Structure 1
């Protein structure tokens, strides 16, 4: 008759999760034990009796070792392997100048978007958009160039020809300088702008600085310095220059800093025009060559 211990031992082998300790069946003492899922390579060597090389290979191919090796290699590549790019690093101590410039840029974008009330017909001041576009044309370079060339052609006096020729030179200088700065800075126009401007060129897709603002400031100084105007007309010239710059922001063409720098640049462009002023002697020699 079999003993109860043998029966209970044989029945215990049918439980779920129990596996024999040896290669198969019960061990030498007739007992079964639970095998851990995370055996070390030394256990594999003792139980399976294989050579150390194959055991190490099987252990390295286990999912746990693969996951561990992947995480360790990732940490190595991120920490000590290859250097992390500087743009991905978080700057814990930014400079005061960087903070000031970032704050200025954020205020500039916010204020420009709030003031772009004529950017489209559906805006809050969309009904004023045709008037703003008329002001835009009054500050465009092509009408000013054509007007200066016509006045130079129709002028009879030497003084009038001198003034109109230097005005024409100033307008050409303004186009060159603004185009160079725009090509260097390459600041995009505001997102709410509609590219329906009059007679645009390749550099006009950039926003900094405002060419209308530079031209308005330079021409205003030029007219006030070389034309004899009554006081109301002088006030109108100043108001026109200011209104041209304001229309650029209201139409959404430029940011506030684009117009502000444009006024600053145009104001000092006139000093360069005065330094390069063409005298009557140079004018007469140029007219003689043309004849």
Structure 2
């Protein structure tokens, strides 16, 4: 049964990519797929978020800073473990340049899980202004579709990634650190960062 599902997944993915190349909107999205890939890359997000924590010392941001950092680390570890366990090979792309990547396993899509996790946090756990919801959801959708169009993942990989992002978001809801706990964590990481630290400048 599993082999049958995987075969259908490969066929449907190929049909989707072939059809997308004949559709103006999706063909345009494919052209921006590399940019979308970078916008949700794990290393890029982790480095950017650490920089954000270091540069912006605002008590109102402590809770989001700490919880998002934990969520990003959680996502990277969970995706790496699942990929090592499942070991499903990535699609063989028509464009051989698309084959270049950090690893050779495709299930689940780390980009899709990360995008969904970030959106879940910014919409449900530490909500941003409602005016940011449409572009945030558009970004998640574009990242998910672009992973298939770029031939880095099968459709099932992306759906699993989106589902994983939701599960990780629910887990973060259960362990969500309070403002005071977040401030204590940041204080322990960098005594100079927070007001009241022994070496605060």
**Paired position in structure 2 for 1:176:** 77
Report if aligned partners of 2:66, 2:185 keep a CA contact under 8 Å in 1.
no
Report if aligned partners of 1:152, 1:164 keep a CA contact under 8 Å in 2.
yes
Report if aligned partners of 1:117, 1:251 keep a CA contact under 8 Å in 2.
no
Say whether residues 1:228 and 2:131 are aligned partners. no
Task: Give the Cα–Cα distance (whole angstroms) in 2 for the partners of residues 133 and 234 of structure 1.
Answer: 23
Task: Give the Cα–Cα distance (whole angstroms) in 2 for the partners of residues 113 and 173 of structure 1.
Answer: 31
Report if aligned partners of 1:208, 1:258 keep a CA contact under 8 Å in 2.
yes
Given candidates 80, 92, 99, the residue that maps to 1:195 is 99
SS at match of 2:57: coil
Report if aligned partners of 2:33, 2:150 keep a CA contact under 8 Å in 1.
yes
Count of aligned pairs between the two proteins: 183
Structure 1 288/241 Cα, relative in aligned 2: closer, same or farther at 3 Å? closer
Q: What RMSD over aligned residues (CA atoms) do the two structures have, in Å? A: 2.3
Say whether residues 1:255 and 2:154 are aligned partners. yes
Report if aligned partners of 2:109, 2:153 keep a CA contact under 8 Å in 1.
yes
1:116: how far off? 2.9
Alignment of 1:209-224 (within 5 A): 209-224=108-123
1:278: how far off? 2.2
SS at match of 1:116: helix
- The structure, 1 or 2, with the larger RCO (C-alpha pairs under 8 Å, 6+ apart) is 2
SS at match of 1:150: helix
1:186: how far off? 0.4
Report if aligned partners of 2:112, 2:161 keep a CA contact under 8 Å in 1.
yes
Unpaired runs of 5+ in structure 1? 1-97
Unpaired runs of 5+ in structure 2? 192-201
